Structure 1
Amino acid sequence: MFGKKGWMPLLAVVLASSLLSACSDNNGGNEGKKPVVTGGNESPTGEQGDGNPFGKFDPPLTVKSVLSTEGWATFPEGETWDNDNRWTKLYREALGINLKWDWMVDSTQYENKMNVSIASGDIPDIMRVTKKQLTQLVEADMVEDLTGVFDQYAMPYLKEQVQDALASAQKMATYDGKLMAIPHYGGDPRDSLVTLYIRADWLKKLNLKEPTTIDELVQVAEAFVKQDPDENGKADTLGLGILSATMGGGAMGGFLNGYHAYPDIWIENGNEGLIYGSTTPEMKSALGKLQQMYKDGLIDREFGTKDYNRLKEDVVSGKLGMFYGTISESALIAADLIKNDPDASWKALPLPSVDGNPAKPNVGVTVGGFYVVKKGFSNPEAAVKMMNLFLQKVYGEDKEGTNNDLQVYAWAENAKYAMHVLSPVQGYIKDYNYNLVRDALAAGDPSGLNEALKKTYDVVSGTDGSDPDTWQQWWIHQPEVSPFEIRVKYQEQPDGVVIDKYFGGATKTMEEKMSTLLTMQNETFVKIIMGAAPIDEFDNYVSNWKKLGGDQITQEVNEWYEANR
């Protein structure tokens, strides 16, 4: 969520004032009258509109939508999924949009429910769909072309981000040059990269250097297992904690990247085409090293069945010395150890490499869905305005977080409540919180921060890391140990991160065969690492992958790549 410095200030938007009105046959229950909006002008497509990213509809516009509810979410007293909560009030008061729910369903059932709605032809005015559903809707001519309204209404900072970090997400929503949906932007793909988390206090206790190579990482793992770093007189500590998953927090992906292997993504093959990263010779070498580490007891014997929660238990109990994590693990895993052992300390490191070439983390392109507008809806710009307002409240209108109000509309009451899930339109935009707070702390001057970041500044500057309740905020703002700082350094390198080159959605053969291929991949990798299969089984996996659909998928991916690069 944090990015490099140097963005231009938010451009001023100067709008002429006038009143415009028009008629429509479909206005979501607004009796055929298109709402009058203040500050109007004519759009590039010739349609009339206010041109204001935050312009209010007058009279109010009724928008029918649907909502995916989350079982884990709780809210302050008086606010629920279906009552007049702070998000429905905000859209009504700020934009003149009255939300009406066609239906609500638990997130686990949302996709199936949406499939039923699409099949029946009875869809709401604005809704979130998957890439597959988006393609179905576009082919059936059921949704609006949003190219013009996005160009006219998207707030300047969102447009800046779409030109940079969010470009791939925007392309995923584009068909024949037309923007057919507003992506639920997953943000800058590089924000999900992993770093190596390591027990710095164990390194110091055992007089070990920070590992920069795979060989050094193996040596550290061996010391963590055999030299009793927790000093309890028992052989109960673990070296490297990894999961059988190949990407994400806690997974083995960071180790594989150390061998310049890039699982689960499509990478350039050196011949103007793409190849699947899980099938390269570098992957075989990495698996061979993990097999040896498992045999030597440097990886948990229960590796094959361990899930994220059990990895967290190993960390929190003080038994694990290293694991690969995204910045999220600073709060989800690392912080909980400090509550149990205030003397423990963590440090984030760049990925150790097998050779003299720096290791590069690999990431996929993340899109949380696509917001579409029903064909014929009178005011398709409502979807863009709702996205603008969401981003303004949760992230701000520029790199300084101007008009940000995330402690009300995102993480209320010191992150006790996740309020943003109440909004039917959600998004992500790259923010600069870490850089801004870090630099203010270094200068001892918070005057340039918005109010929310000043509160973070006050928390960090008011503690020395000894308070477990504020440790995580303190730790991530210490550049010498922070995973945020490592991520910034990767992002500042032009080619510091390997990003998935394919983002065209599931091809025909992917839909039919990719699930089976992924299962085969996972089973083969686990068997090899645990010694249940020889390393040469990797060659059989690659051969079978190609025969069982991989070659056809590769052809389809490269046809897309040739047409879209």
Structure 2
Amino acid sequence: MRKNESRRALTRLFTIFMLGVAVITSGCRGSVREANSVPPGNDVTVDKYDPAVSITYLRPWGPDVKFLPGEDQDNNAHSRWAKEKLGIELKNLWISPSTNNSFETKLRLALAADAEMPDIIAYRGELNLVRELIESGKFLDGGELFDKYAGDAWKKAVNEDPTVWYPFMENDKRIGIPILDYAYNSDSVLWIREDWMEKFNFSAPKTLTDLEIIMEAFTNQDPDGNGIKDTYGLTIGFKNWINTWMSDGGWVFGAYGTMPNQWNLNEDGKLEYGSIAPGAKFALGKLRDWMEKGYIPEMAGWYDEAKAAEEFTAGRAGIVAGPHWMPSWPMEDMEKNVAGARLKAYPIPSGENGTAGRHGTSIANGVILINKNMEHPEAFFTYQNYLFDHYANPSVGNDFVIGLSEAEDAGSNRAAVKSGDMLVESATNEKYTVTFDGARIPSLNMASMVKLARGEEAATPFEQRVKSTYSHAVLEAAAIVMDQKHIAMKPMFNGAPTPTMEMHNDLLSKMEKDVYFQIIYGKAPLEAFDSYVEKWYANGGKQITAEVNAWYTSHSQ
């Protein structure tokens, strides 16, 4: 689960949502069956419920989700579409924003008070909260329901990486259903000020040594030409930790063969915690050196991902690591606001021995939990199957329109353009869906972007959507991500916390952050890393390592 999500503001990237050639009319409903003929537990979903059935749900609502005047979470184009097309009334049990842990706090209070739970909880955020919900015993075996009711397109998408079930399992049951994201969606490239690169006649950095030459110039040789020493080479933020989804430094550790804050496969075929691996000591020494030389901001330890990126968008830093989509957000206005600024994506550089690595991101980005008391659990699958069948990768001529009509579109901020024989409409309606992003087939997005980056034509509605959504800079960056897909280091342990983790992880996490912070800022010698590793093993780490490897052995057979 992503630092979720993460990706909470990122859905603004996908501003073009709808493809189709027709609006909803009463003539495109297909066959209709009676809801009453489908009792709970029957291996059948329907085209449309008549009379309508209700699905109550909870999901955090991010600040990026905007509504037209008079609309809200329960009354919008998508909710009206779901009732009209599927006979499903979507209703929030209560509404809470995603910011400041408001949603998490309210849900925990409800759980503690044994309050009513909704039919569906869709959540991306704290894995600890997910575990609390699963362990409450209030939710059905989602995997069993998935096997019965999920359509072929949805099942095929999940089967791209069956390990996405692991974090949401309890006693070998798949309680939570993973919400899918696009593959490699938060894997990093280096974004560099191309106008500064040209000023100093630099070529692409292949190693950390090459990069240090560039950072020295960006820090000390007045790259913005204002006569003031007010720039630095690399912006990074590790308030939320080092290998995050944007403004991250995990690739520095990757140059030394490890990745912190996750379990990696070592040369012996065993899982090893990346933060205590020998290579982590060298990476910490490198970050310490960069901090001393002023190549990275002194406030890096207090910057989260977005705040660190602001240093780049404000023109104060020349390099930031982050996903291929960063020109769409948060750098969309940089070239307007910073005179002469131009951006270009570069590959992740290697260490001196040729090793390179970046944090690899999962195709799971959230979880669906289904209440044991839900009267029609199959209704959710009717809903989500439709999205996978008609939105995730629509065919030409598909009649899928997620709740817009010409009347509703008139006067709104949604623009409609004609692209060949397809209507491409800019909308935010995918953000209104129960699962945040509609439906995503993990491998499809990058494959389409690489194709377009190579100059091939957009042949499908999905490729038309991608072409209309992304700039050429984003497409080029996506191609770099895929050219370096062999360096992606995905977490190799993604199961539920082990018993010793539950007892000791808070202490171990605090130890880790304290010593990393002290070393990077020069408050402790680099040798403090060695004593930290000893303490880590002595305070539960040895037993955790054994438990993690036992899990890995049982799941990799």
3-state DSSP class of the match of 1:191? coil
Mapped pair 1:233 → 2:243: no
Mapped pair 1:475 → 2:473: yes
Give the 3 Å change call, closer, same or farther, for CA 262–158 of structure 1 in structure 2: same
Q: By how many angstroms is 1:273 displaced?
A: 2.8
| Bigger RCO (CA 8 Å, 6+ sep) | 2
Q: By how many angstroms is 1:255 displaced?
A: 1.8
Q: By how many angstroms is 1:168 displaced?
A: 1.9
Instruction: Tell me, in whole angstroms, the C-alpha distance in 1 between the residues paired with 2:322 and 2:82.
Output: 37
Q: Deviation digits for residues 205-230 of structure 1, max 9, x if unmatched?
A: 21222110111111111122233222
Give the 3 Å change call, closer, same or farther, for CA 485–252 of structure 1 in structure 2: same
Give the 3 Å change call, closer, same or farther, for CA 366–131 of structure 1 in structure 2: farther
Instruction: Tell me, in whole angstroms, the C-alpha distance in 2 between the residues paired with 1:358 and 1:408.
Output: 50
Instruction: Tell me, in whole angstroms, the C-alpha distance in 1 between the residues paired with 2:293 and 2:488.
Output: 31
Mapped pair 1:430 → 2:445: no
Instruction: Tell me, in whole angstroms, the C-alpha distance in 2 between the residues paired with 1:456 and 1:364.
Output: 21
Percent pairwise identity: 26
Mapped pair 1:488 → 2:479: no
Q: Deviation digits for residues 1-49 of structure 1, max 9, x if unmatched?
A: 9xxxxxxxxxxxxxxx99987xxxxxxxxxxxx5336xxxx9xxx9534
Opposite residue 156 of structure 1, the aligned amino acid is D
Aligned residues of 2:237 and 2:304 also touching (Cα < 8 A): yes
Opposite residue 243 of structure 2, the aligned amino acid is M
Q: By how many angstroms is 1:267 displaced?
A: 1.0
**TM-score, normalised by the number of residues in structure 1:** 0.78
Aligned residues of 2:346 and 2:477 also touching (Cα < 8 A): yes
Mapped pair 1:340 → 2:337: yes
Residue aligning to 1:370: 367
Greater mean deviation of Cα atoms: 554-563 or 209-218: 554-563
Mapped pair 1:517 → 2:515: no
Give the 3 Å change call, closer, same or farther, for CA 439–366 of structure 1 in structure 2: closer
Aligned residues of 1:131 and 1:369 also touching (Cα < 8 A): no
Instruction: Tell me, in whole angstroms, the C-alpha distance in 2 between the residues paired with 1:532 and 1:306.
Output: 19
Q: Deviation digits for residues 481-501 of structure 1, max 9, x if unmatched?
A: x3211112233x4xx311101
Q: Deviation digits for residues 249-270 of structure 1, max 9, x if unmatched?
A: 1122122212222011101233
Give the 3 Å change call, closer, same or farther, for CA 473–384 of structure 1 in structure 2: same
Q: By how many angstroms is 1:502 displaced?
A: 0.9
Q: By how many angstroms is 1:438 displaced?
A: 5.7
Residue aligning to 1:79: 71
Which of 97, 110, 133 pairs up with 2:103? 110
Mapped pair 1:294 → 2:288: no
Q: By how many angstroms is 1:76 displaced?
A: 1.2
Q: By how many angstroms is 1:272 displaced?
A: 4.1
Give the 3 Å change call, closer, same or farther, for CA 407–35 of structure 1 in structure 2: closer
Greater mean deviation of Cα atoms: 102-111 or 434-443: 434-443
Residue aligning to 1:91: 82
Give the 3 Å change call, closer, same or farther, for CA 239–71 of structure 1 in structure 2: closer
RMSD: 3.5
Opposite residue 371 of structure 1, the aligned amino acid is I
Give the 3 Å change call, closer, same or farther, for CA 428–269 of structure 1 in structure 2: same
Gaps of 5+ in 1: 2-16, 22-33, 460-471
Residue aligning to 1:351: 348
Mapped pair 1:212 → 2:206: yes
3-state DSSP class of the match of 1:331? coil
Aligned residues of 1:75 and 1:417 also touching (Cα < 8 A): no
Q: Deviation digits for residues 504-535 of structure 1, max 9, x if unmatched?
A: 12333333432332233223222212222111
Residue aligning to 2:555: 564
Aligned residues of 2:448 and 2:466 also touching (Cα < 8 A): no
Q: By how many angstroms is 1:377 displaced?
A: 3.5
Opposite residue 237 of structure 1, the aligned amino acid is T
Instruction: Tell me, in whole angstroms, the C-alpha distance in 2 between the residues paired with 1:561 and 1:412.
Output: 50
Residue aligning to 2:421: none
Instruction: Tell me, in whole angstroms, the C-alpha distance in 1 between the residues paired with 2:402 and 2:318.
Output: 34
Q: Deviation digits for residues 390-442 of structure 1, max 9, x if unmatched?
A: 445653358x9966768969x97369974444333445432634543664575
**TM-score, normalised by the number of residues in structure 2:** 0.79
Give the 3 Å change call, closer, same or farther, for CA 114–279 of structure 1 in structure 2: same
Residue aligning to 2:358: 361
Which of 481, 490, 504 pairs up with 1:499? 490
Q: By how many angstroms is 1:276 displaced?
A: 0.7
Aligned residues of 1:241 and 1:250 also touching (Cα < 8 A): yes
Give the 3 Å change call, closer, same or farther, for CA 543–371 of structure 1 in structure 2: same
Mapped pair 1:57 → 2:45: no
Equivalent residues in 2 for 1:241-280 (5 A)?
241-244=235-238, 245-248=241-244, 249-280=246-277
Instruction: Tell me, in whole angstroms, the C-alpha distance in 2 between the residues paired with 1:488 and 1:552.
Output: 37
Give the 3 Å change call, closer, same or farther, for CA 280–346 of structure 1 in structure 2: same
Aligned residues of 1:365 and 1:503 also touching (Cα < 8 A): no
Aligned residues of 2:208 and 2:351 also touching (Cα < 8 A): yes
Gaps of 5+ in 2: 1-9, 11-29, 406-411, 416-424
Instruction: Tell me, in whole angstroms, the C-alpha distance in 1 between the residues paired with 2:369 and 2:479.
Output: 37
Instruction: Tell me, in whole angstroms, the C-alpha distance in 1 between the residues paired with 2:173 and 2:397.
Output: 30
Q: Deviation digits for residues 440-465 of structure 1, max 9, x if unmatched?
A: 5755744x231x75366468xxxxxx
Aligned length: 503
Mapped pair 1:180 → 2:180: no
